[in-house]
Amino acid sequence: MFIQSAHEEKDTSALLQFIRENALGMLVTGIDSSLDFLQCTHVPFVVDLPGEAEESSPRGRLRAHIAKQNPQVKGMIEALENKPNVLELEQDVLVVFNGKHDHYVTPKYYVETKPDSGKVVPTWNYSAVQVYGKLSLYYDSKTTEAGNFIMQQMKDLSQHLETSVMGYTGGERPQPWKVGDAPEKYIELMQQNIVGIEIRVDKIQGKHKMSQEMRPGDREGNAISFLVKERGVLHDEKRQKY
């Protein structure tokens, strides 16, 4: 990821919180197998902060589950076939998370700079976080370790998304859906058809490209000006400190 200093977010806790608020990630792998070398799957993730779980890395970990029939999973399993006791992929994986708001920025938005000098060009404002790390695959739900991991992952993901995304606050259905609401045999069948994904975070980086380096008048003309204003204020505060 190319990151200009004005756009960079260095706070790890803020980056992990960004993932919690934007759970859908793109899992990217490069694996030598009989399938395509590069594979990508869109999947929602659970974030474990550093110290929240015994298995968590010093920088945290991500958890997810995807279908066994997914070609990306088939490539992983193929890569592990000769190593039955090793669940960890040798290659690093990449997960990309995008913010909820992005927008094309026309030079016409720059109401301060454009009339003054005309030295403006189009761009695209967005926010994103990238995570690099080692992936462990829990692919046999009949084993105790994989079965426990997958069940806990399903429960944690449902709880997180039901409460943070759906935002149950009362009314006729005040309680979020939980895994236990589905028939036990049905859940067992679901478990047999998915694999658990665990990624221990080795590196995390992110950016908020929101025209914060532009003049105040240019920020106000932007189509997503509320985010542009927020990042602009933070940018200005940092400049004043130094």
Q: Kindly report whether the global pTM for this prediction surpasses the value 0.75.
A: yes
d(C-alpha 157, C-alpha 64), whole Å? 8
Whole-number Cα distances in Å, 197 to 33, 104, 214, 240: 19, 34, 41, 43
Cβ atoms of residues 51 and 69 within 8 Å: no
Give a yes or no: residue 89 inside a domain.
yes
The answer to whether 49 and 60 are in contact (CB under 8 A) is yes
pLDDT at residue 210, as a whole number = 76
Query: Is residue 76 domain-resident?
Result: yes
> 236: domain range?
8-241
153 lies in a domain? yes
CATH value at residue 122: 2.30.110.10
Tell me whether residue 114 is in a domain. Answer: yes
Check residue 131 and give its pLDDT: 97
Is position 91 within any domain?
A: yes
**Considering its fold, how many domains does the chain have in total?**
1
User: Could you read off the pLDDT of 8-46 as tens digits, one per residue?
Assistant: 888 999 999 999 999 999 999 999 889 999 999 999 999
Residue 87, φ and ψ in degrees, nearest 5: -95, -15
d(CA 190, CA 55): 24
Q: What is the DSSP string of 132-197?
A: EEEEEEE--TTSHHHHHHHHHHHHHHHHHHHHHTS---STT--SPP-GGGS-HHHHHHHHHTEEEE
Contacts of 198 (CB under 8 A, 6+ apart): 55, 61, 62, 63, 135, 136, 138, 149
Q: Is 50 part of a structural domain of the chain?
A: yes
Q: What is the DSSP letter of 129?
A: E
Residues 189-239: pLDDT tens digits? 999 999 999 999 999 999 988 776 666 665 565 555 555 566 666 666 666
Q: Is residue 3 part of a domain?
A: no
**In this structure, is residue 1 part of a structural domain?**
no
